[in-house]
Every structure is written in C-alpha cells, then in structure tokens.
C-alpha cells in the first residue's frame, strides 16, 4: 500500500468565470492527497509537529493535461516514490469521474527538526510503518 486514492469535489470558488479550476488549486488537491496518504498510516501533520517534526514542501511540479471544472468529482492518486530519508517524495495523478487524466505531479518534502530548525532524518516510527507494508 504505497498509494492512496482520495475524492474531492471541485467547489465554485476554485474556478474562474468559465467554470475551469484555477491552476494553483491543483497544488491544494495534491496536498489533500498526501494528507490522506499519511492518515492511512495513522499519521497527521499535527501529530508529527507535536513530535517536533515539520514537513515543508521544497519542490513541486505539476503537468497539466486537461481542465478540471466546477462540480467535478476528482480522484487524487498519491504514491510514495521511495522510502524516505531526510525527505519524502510523492507522485500524483488527478483524474475526473470519466477517468480522464487532468494532471500529474510530484512533491518533495523535507523533514525538519522544529527545535533546531534543521533538516533531519525520517522519524523511525514512520519508517517502521512503511517497512511493514513492503514498499
């Protein structure tokens, strides 16, 4: 289980006057995907922050293929690219209800020790959970 699929309905405020999703919202859809991916492992950003670890995005790429539109139900597929080290990498596919590919993308997030404000290794508890799923 190195991927998660999450559904999102496009809200009116995410679109322009023509009903097309504003390009910046795709990054938000990817964030929803990785947040839900973490939840599958019993983790959350707030829980990691309580343990002194934050995960800022250090790289984001989006390749737009087709337009998402108001009221579409989108499926975000979030895949872990490899076992994390001092960073964690995800790949994304965004599709509509007709299974049309709307966008692909990737993110890299760095593990940061909040006390020292410095990069750190992936927490052992996360690596242990990932290894149990044979990634």
Which are the contacts of 12, defined by CB distance < 8 A and separation ≥ 6?
Answer: 70
Q: In which element (H, E) is residue 128 found?
A: helix 124-131
Question: pLDDT at position 133, please?
Answer: 66
pTM value is 0.92
Question: pLDDT at position 129, please?
Answer: 83
Would you give per-residue pLDDT tens digits along the chain (135 residues)?
A: 589 999 999 999 999 999 999 999 999 999 999 999 999 888 899 999 999 999 999 999 999 999 999 999 999 999 999 999 999 999 999 999 999 999 999 999 999 999 999 999 999 988 888 887 654
What is 3-130's CATH number?
3.10.129.10
């Amino acid at each position: 289980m190195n991927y998660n699929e999450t559904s999102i309905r496009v809200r009116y405020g995410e679109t322009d006057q023509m009903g097309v999703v504003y390009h910046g919202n795709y990054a938000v859809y990817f964030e929803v995907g990785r947040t839900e991916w973490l939840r599958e492992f019993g983790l959350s950003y707030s829980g990691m922050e309580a343990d002194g670890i934050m995960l800022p995005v250090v790289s984001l790429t989006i390749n737009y293929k087709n337009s998402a539109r108001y009221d579409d139900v989108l499926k975000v597929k979030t895949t872990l690219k490899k076992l994390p080290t001092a960073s964690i990498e995800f790949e994304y596919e965004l599709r509509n209800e007709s299974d049309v590919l709307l966008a692909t993308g990737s993110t890299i997030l760095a593990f940061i020790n909040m006390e020292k404000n410095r990069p750190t290794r992936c927490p052992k508890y996360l690596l242990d959970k990932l290894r149990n799923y044979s990634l």
